């Protein structure tokens, strides 16, 4: 049967303590035990259904985790206080002193900085490669490699990872394939193609209202339990827990994710094809000109489209800045980092979200200062938005 992520979420049924249509929020950091023996068993991981302490887990976090595992088709999931709070313990759970990572070179700047600048302190080395070139990825694997790391659709260049082929490589060399799916929730389901671990920053599309941070790791029960182990689990010990109030609000927002993703995708697809026709260098996986258009198509859950992210090239940082300031003045969106909001958000990644990447490496990977990354909003009249954006582009000399 076809994998139906939104239906899988919908099929979960929880009621609140008094029959509420939403589950009750667990407003406690710690939990009582009827006997001292049960407390000991729980510490040793042998007491199902008992809660210990909310850094370990809480009923509200479990509800949200279950919904996210259902969405990604994994056995289990563990939520975290931010996307980085999901990424960093995953890397540290898999890798230790002397280990090596093969990572896509076009990834979120924070993840890049963690692998490039922080993990070497712990003896973990990373080779950054062009993830779209499988021979290059394979050549970078050494006897110490433990993990291949990539984003299904990369931030900010929108390169698409061939998850099936990367998973085959990972299996051949006994590595873990870790995929950050933040840019393509519902549209791509990496676990279906063999990803071992799927990560999201919930801060973005999944929560969708730019009012909270959040993250999740979706994986096998064994992996999630290892991250939550009180003895040596990186999530438990590094402490990037989500608060129950937040997990309950994210779960409620998740109810409308399928509708939002379709609208983000429709609007982005409309604008991308118009911008391209106008002669702007436009990158959007839904465009036939995108080098991985067919690859995305072969992986996608078609009803959710190609996602809400696109980039255009304006030619220079000055033009990019002038255009973004004017679009904000005309209320077409906000000059802000992040993504997945109801309103369009735009930023120049070279000087913001990817500024952690040194300039020469930015040039090498094709990230220019004139590039604007758009997270297209839920605008009701996208034709009107397009006309107004085009006027702005003419005014600042981008068109
Ligand atoms: N992964 C991707 C692809 C991102 O774009 C971001 C943030 O922009 C993150 C992870 C980090 O998430 P957070 O900011 O929630 O820690």
Q: Work out which ligand 1 atom sits closest to the CA atom of 85.
A: 16
Return the pLDDT at 1.
67
Query: Does the beta carbon of 162 lie inside 6 Å of ligand 1?
Result: no
Which residue's CA is the closest to the ligand 1 atom numbered 12? 83
Ligand 1 pocket test, candidate residues 81, 179, 204, most atoms within 8 A of CB = 204
Query: Does the beta carbon of 84 lie inside 6 Å of ligand 1?
Result: yes
Query: Does the beta carbon of 200 lie inside 6 Å of ligand 1?
Result: no
Ligand 1 pocket test, candidate residues 68, 152, 201, 311, most atoms within 8 A of CB = 201
Q: Work out which ligand 1 atom sits closest to the CA atom of 215.
A: 15
Report pLDDT digits (tens) over 298-318. 999 999 999 999 999 999 999
Rounded Cα distance, 341 and 333, in Å: 10
Q: Work out which ligand 1 atom sits closest to the CA atom of 353.
A: 8
Q: Give the chain's mean pLDDT.
A: 96
Report pLDDT digits (tens) over 193-218. 999 999 999 999 999 999 999 999 99
Q: In the Cβ-directed half-sphere of 179, how many Cα atoms lie within 13 Å?
A: 30
For residue 150, report the distance from its CA to the centre of ligand 1, in Å.
13
Enumerate the H helices of 239-301 as residue ranges. Answer: 244-254, 257-277, 293-299
Query: Does the beta carbon of 345 lie inside 6 Å of ligand 1?
Result: no
Rounded Cα distance, 376 and 345, in Å: 7
Query: Does the beta carbon of 242 lie inside 6 Å of ligand 1?
Result: no
From 26, 3, 4, 32, select the one nearest 14 (Cα to Cα). 26
For residue 27, report the distance from its CA to the centre of ligand 1, in Å.
27
For residue 108, report the distance from its CA to the centre of ligand 1, in Å.
6
Report pLDDT digits (tens) over 156-190. 999 999 999 999 999 999 999 999 999 999 999 99
For residue 39, report the distance from its CA to the centre of ligand 1, in Å.
36
Classify domain 5-254 at the CATH class level: alpha beta
The CATH T-level fold of domain 257-396 is 3.90.1150
Region 128-149: mean pLDDT is 98
Domain boundaries for CATH 3.90.1150.10 within the chain: 257-396
Rounded Cα distance, 390 and 392, in Å: 5
Query: Does the beta carbon of 180 lie inside 6 Å of ligand 1?
Result: yes
Rounded Cα distance, 137 and 147, in Å: 11
Q: What is the DSSP letter of 52?
A: -
Rounded Cα distance, 386 and 272, in Å: 10
Task: Please determine, for residue 329, whether its predicted confidence score (pLDDT) is greater than 70.
Answer: yes
Report pLDDT digits (tens) over 346-364. 999 988 888 888 888 898 8
Sheet containing 176-180: which strands, arranged edge to edge? 76-80, 215-219, 197-201, 176-180, 145-151, 100-104, 125-129
For residue 61, report the distance from its CA to the centre of ligand 1, in Å.
19
What are the residues whose beta carbons fall under 8 Å from the beta carbon of 68, sequence distance 6 or more?
A: 77, 79, 200, 206, 216, 218, 254
Q: In the Cβ-directed half-sphere of 81, how many Cα atoms lie within 13 Å?
A: 13
For residue 211, report the distance from its CA to the centre of ligand 1, in Å.
14
Which residue's CA is the closest to the ligand 1 atom numbered 11? 83
For residue 366, report the distance from its CA to the centre of ligand 1, in Å.
21
Domain boundaries for CATH 3.40.640.10 within the chain: 5-254
Cβ atoms of 345 and 332 within 8 Å: the answer is: no
- pTM exceeds 0.95 for this model: yes
Query: Does the beta carbon of 201 lie inside 6 Å of ligand 1?
Result: yes
Report pLDDT digits (tens) over 29-82. 999 998 999 888 888 877 778 899 999 999 999 999 999 999 999 999 999 999
Query: Does the beta carbon of 307 lie inside 6 Å of ligand 1?
Result: no
CB-CB neighbours of 190 under 10 Å: 30
Report residue 325's pLDDT band, with 50, 70 and 90 as the boundaries: very high
Ligand 1 pocket test, candidate residues 182, 202, 356, most atoms within 8 A of CB = 182
Ligand 1 pocket test, candidate residues 104, 153, 203, 375, most atoms within 8 A of CB = 203
Task: Please determine, for residue 14, whether its predicted confidence score (pLDDT) is greater than 70.
Answer: yes
Cβ atoms of 251 and 371 within 8 Å: the answer is: no
With both helix axes pointing from N to C terminus, report the angle between 244-254 and 59-72 in degrees, rounded to the nearest 10.
30
């Amino acid at each position: 049967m076809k994998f139906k992520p939104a239906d899988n979420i919908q099929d979960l049924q929880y009621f609140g303590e008094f029959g509420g249509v939403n589950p009750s929020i667990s407003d406690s950091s710690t939990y009582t035990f009827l006997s001292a023996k049960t407390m000991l068993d729980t510490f040793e991981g042998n007491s199902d259904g008992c809660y210990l302490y909310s850094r370990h887990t809480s009923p509200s976090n479990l509800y949200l985790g279950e919904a996210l595992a259902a969405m990604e088709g994994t056995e289990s999931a563990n939520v975290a206080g931010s996307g980085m709070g999901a990424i960093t313990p995953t890397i540290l759970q898999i890798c230790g002193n002397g280990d090596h990572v093969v990572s896509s070179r076009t990834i979120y700047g924070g993840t890049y900085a963690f692998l490039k600048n922080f993990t070497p302190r712990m003896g973990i080395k990373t080779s950054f490669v062009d993830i779209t070139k499988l021979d290059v990825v394979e050549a970078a694997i050494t006897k110490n490699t433990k993990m291949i790391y990539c984003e299904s659709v990369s931030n900010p260049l929108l390169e698409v990872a061939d998850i099936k082929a990367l998973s085959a490589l990972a299996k051949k060399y006994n590595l873990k394939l870790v995929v950050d799916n933040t840019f393509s929730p519902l549209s791509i389901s990496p676990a279906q193609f063999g990803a071992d671990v799927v990560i999201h920053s919930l801060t973005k599309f999944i929560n969708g209202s730019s009012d909270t941070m959040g993250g999740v790791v979706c994986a096998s029960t064994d992996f999630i339990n290892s991250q939550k182990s009180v003895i040596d689990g990186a999530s438990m010990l590094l402490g990037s827990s989500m608060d129950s109030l937040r997990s309950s609000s994210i779960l409620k927002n998740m109810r409308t994710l399928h509708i939002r993703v379709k609208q983000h995708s429709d609007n982005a697809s409309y604008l991308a094809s118009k911008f391209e026709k106008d002669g702007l260098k436009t990158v959007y996986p839904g465009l036939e000109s995108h080098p991985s258009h067919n690859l995305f198509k072969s992986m996608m859950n078609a009803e959710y489209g190609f996602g809400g992210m696109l980039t255009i090239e304006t030619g220079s940082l000055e033009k990019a800045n002038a255009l973004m300031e004017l679009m904000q003045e005309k209320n077409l969106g906000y000059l802000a980092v992040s993504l997945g909001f109801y309103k369009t958000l735009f930023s120049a990644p070279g000087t913001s979200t990817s500024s952690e990447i040194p300039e020469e490496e930015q040039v090498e990977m094709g990230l220019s200062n004139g590039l604007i990354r758009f997270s297209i909003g839920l605008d009701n009249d996208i034709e009107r938005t397009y006309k107004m954006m085009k006027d702005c582009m003419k005014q600042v000399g981008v068109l």
